[in-house]
Amino acid sequence: MPTDLPNLLTLSRILAIPLLVVFVAIRAPWADMAACALFSAAAITDYFDGKIARDRKIVSDFGRMLDPIADKLLVGAALMLLAGFDRLPNWALLPAIVIMLREILVSGLREYLAGINFGLPVTALAKWKTGFQMGALGTLLAGDSGAAVIGLGFLPVSLIGELMLWTAAALTLVTGWDYLAAGLRHAARETPAHTSSPANRLERP
């Protein structure tokens, strides 16, 4: 049911996005720290919704559908906010593009493979990718200004976030290729259907 706790946690990631936009748009150190805290809390729900659903044996089709959507909306919103408000340092826009393109690729693959009743398993490397990705985005949302609010202004927070984003992008390329290879293997096994539609049939006298 949509009102089960795991599904409510999943929905909370989507509901957090408008508030995340507001915090980033304020452009104040306290708001940067608030954006980091909100994003981090939303990202953590990605672990707990699945764990609770498995432990309580309340896995649902609604949850399986919504979970990857919520993740991609949260990540996409954070990346666009960082880029749109010029919060990505140096060349960090490049790994952000890689991550966005990978999300689109995997979404397309999942849609295709679902049509032939084949699921893409989540690998251990993909979990590491998600960890670095969420950590990087949370760190970049805080930035040096947000870190100063909690007494961590001496740390190069933006640089740390950028390095984590590059690491996430590298893992993204590896896991994205794994998913693409799986999709191509199953596409190659599909036998083209012979149709008898007028467009494919030669008219004989």
Report d(CA 147, CA 153) in Å as an integer: 5
Euclidean distance between the first and final Cα of the chain, in Å?
Answer: 60
Handedness of CA 195, 197, 198, 203 (dihedral sign): positive
Q: Is the pLDDT of residue 204 over 50?
A: no
What pLDDT digit, counting tens, does each position of 83-102 carry? 999 998 878 999 999 999 98
pLDDT-derived band at 104 (thresholds 50, 70, 90) equals confident
Report d(CA 120, CA 139) in Å as an integer: 29
Q: What angle (nearest 5°) sits at the alpha carbon of residue 88, between those of residues 87 and 92? A: 180
Handedness of CA 176, 40, 94, 76 (dihedral sign): positive
pLDDT score of 29: 96
pLDDT score of 156: 94
pTM summary value: 0.82
CB 173 within 8 Å of CB 102: yes
Q: Is the pLDDT of residue 81 over 60?
A: yes
Mean pLDDT, residues 94-115 taken together = 82
pLDDT, mean over the chain: 84
pLDDT-derived band at 55 (thresholds 50, 70, 90) equals confident
